[in-house]
Chains A and B, each alone.
Chain A
Amino acid sequence: MLKKSLYVFLPIIIVILFLIFISYILRESQINKDIITFSNSKPISTGKITQYNAFKSTELKKDSKPLEDKSLPDWQESPNIKYSIKTPSPDKRDSQTKALQGSQDYIVENSSQSQQAETEPSFFTDLISWMPTKFNNNSAKPQNKTDLEQEIYDYGNNIGKLIKDFSNATGDHPKLMSNFVKDTYSTQNIQKLESLAEGYKLLAKQIKNTNAPIPMTAVANNLSLGYKSVGEATLQLSKQRTNEGLLTEIYKYNKTAENFATSFIKFSKVFRLYGIKYNRGEPGDIFMPALY
């Protein structure tokens, strides 16, 4: 009976699994293809959009002209920021490429597009570009790490695990915030926000209590303070009941969150400075760009 049913179901299973696999590859490669330059570029400075790309440089500048006429009905243009994209001259592009090549970064060599920029495209490189990053990821742990690099690597994994555990335990923060904003008198909404605030404070303590390698002491301290501040701002938010009060606290909260974000980015950049790379799935991968 089992054999018969296996004969019937096995081909179906194989076909289904094949389709799932193909759809997974397509889904991953869609992101890789569309945002391919993300892994091959670096911003010139945090928050300032100036120029990006090593091989197909684009430049964004503040401009008084509106965006292209392709805007869709549900797109509301931001009142303060308008950009236009222009491609710089080949000379400028070369100089940018050289400048970027010289910089220390955690960009990896597995971007098929970057390889194509240097070598002739081939069947092999095309095939690589179709593979999900999970399979063609060359960004293994740095070989022959020094003691300090190993210490930083382990520390990143420890902190990454704390943050991921916190994130998994507290769930969808925007959803909690959204529920609270819709009904500021709901005891359940208030309690959830309060427990989120406590979670932030606890995470701040855990980060503070984790021994940081010497080069990371300052940034780790700032990260811990950042989480603590976000926790306090969240707690203040949970005390508001009127839209006016909420509006004032939202501005304060946003300012705190942006300061925290700056600390987080600085913290992440220390790993780049020491050439530390994390594979996808490792706790420390939250300090790497999403596509690497």
Chain B
Amino acid sequence: MKKSLILIIIITIFVLPVKTSAAIQFGGSIQRIIGCVNDGLIYTLLGPPRGGEYIWSPTVTDTYAFGPPKRTGQWLLGNAAVSHFCIASVIPWDVKPGWLMMSVGSSQ
């Protein structure tokens, strides 16, 4: 029984797709989206497969079809390399850090 369990674990490890842990390439559907009060930034919280907090910038992000993040449920895919700050509100104090999108493509 133990041997078969070990066999199952080994097979599973070798067959499961490997994902890199670096948070440089991201992709997932938008679960939350907020327009920031600073510099026209847009904060997005992405779900799996490679989710996290990402910020779109009108001046920096290389934006491909279909434009900047617009709504929840929309899919995003892109690269990020440095963290950024979205000021959602000054009073009450609400600052949301996230990765600054270097390039992004979105679904319709």
* Residues on the A chain within 8 Å of B59, using CB: 47, 258
Q: Count contacts between A and B, CB distance < 8 Å.
A: 209
> What is the CB-to-nearest-CB distance from A285 to chain B, in angstroms, rounded to a whole number?
8
The residue of chain A having its C-beta at the shortest distance from the C-beta of B79 within the complex is: A290
User: In whole angstroms, how far apart are the Cα atoms of A164 and B95 in the complex?
Assistant: 27
Which of A2, A9, A177, A230 contacts B85, CB < 8 Å? A177
Q: Are B81 and A251 in contact (CB under 8 A)?
A: no
Which of A76, A78, A181 contacts B97, CB < 8 Å? A181
The residue of chain B having its C-beta at the shortest distance from the C-beta of A45 within the complex is: B62
The residue of chain B having its C-beta at the shortest distance from the C-beta of A196 within the complex is: B83
User: In whole angstroms, how far apart are the Cα atoms of A3 and B87 in the complex?
Assistant: 61
With A38-B105, A177-B97 as known contacts, state yes or no: A250 contacts B65, CB within 8 Å: no
Residue count of chain B within 8 Å CB distance of chain A: 73
Flag B22-42 by CB within 8 Å of A: 1 or 0 each.
111111000011111111111
Which of A43, A164, A174 contacts B62, CB < 8 Å? A43
* Residues on the B chain within 8 Å of A15, using CB: none
Within B76-108, the residues touching A (CB, 8 Å) are 76-79, 81-85, 87, 90, 93, 95-100, 102-103, 105-108
> What is the CB-to-nearest-CB distance from B25 to chain A, in angstroms, rounded to a whole number?
5
Q: Are A72 and B60 in contact (CB under 8 A)?
A: no
The residue of chain A having its C-beta at the shortest distance from the C-beta of B17 within the complex is: A24
User: In whole angstroms, how far apart are the Cα atoms of A229 and B19 in the complex?
Assistant: 30
Which of A9, A78, A264, A281 contacts B8, CB < 8 Å? A9
User: In whole angstroms, how far apart are the Cα atoms of A37 and B105 in the complex?
Assistant: 8
> What is the CB-to-nearest-CB distance from A171 to chain B, in angstroms, rounded to a whole number?
8
> What is the CB-to-nearest-CB distance from A55 to chain B, in angstroms, rounded to a whole number?
10
The residue of chain A having its C-beta at the shortest distance from the C-beta of B26 within the complex is: A290
Q: Are A290 and B4 in contact (CB under 8 A)?
A: no
A262 near B: Cβ within 8 Å? yes
With A49-B67, A85-B67, A177-B83 as known contacts, state yes or no: A13 contacts B100, CB within 8 Å: no
The residue of chain B having its C-beta at the shortest distance from the C-beta of A54 within the complex is: B65
Q: Are A58 and B65 in contact (CB under 8 A)?
A: yes
Which of A27-35, A136-144, A205-213 forms contacts with chain B? Answer: A27-35
The 5 A-B residue pairs with the shortest CB-CB distance in the complex, in nearest-first order: A38-B105, A34-B107, A177-B97, A78-B35, A173-B83
Residues of A within 8 A of B (CB): 1-2, 5-6, 9, 13, 17, 20-21, 24, 27, 30-31, 34-35, 37-39, 41-43, 46-47, 49, 52-53, 58, 60, 67, 70-72, 74-81, 83, 85, 134, 163-164, 167-168, 172-175, 177-178, 181, 230, 243, 246-247, 250-251, 253-254, 257-258, 260-262, 264-265, 268, 281, 285-286, 289-291
* 11 examples of A-B residue contacts, CB within 8 angstroms: A34-B107, A38-B105, A46-B60, A47-B61, A72-B72, A85-B67, A168-B22, A174-B99, A260-B81, A289-B103, A291-B77
For the A-B complex with A178-B97, A265-B62, A286-B24 known, give 5 more contacts whose Cβ atoms are closer than 8 Å: A79-B35, A81-B68, A85-B66, A164-B20, A168-B22
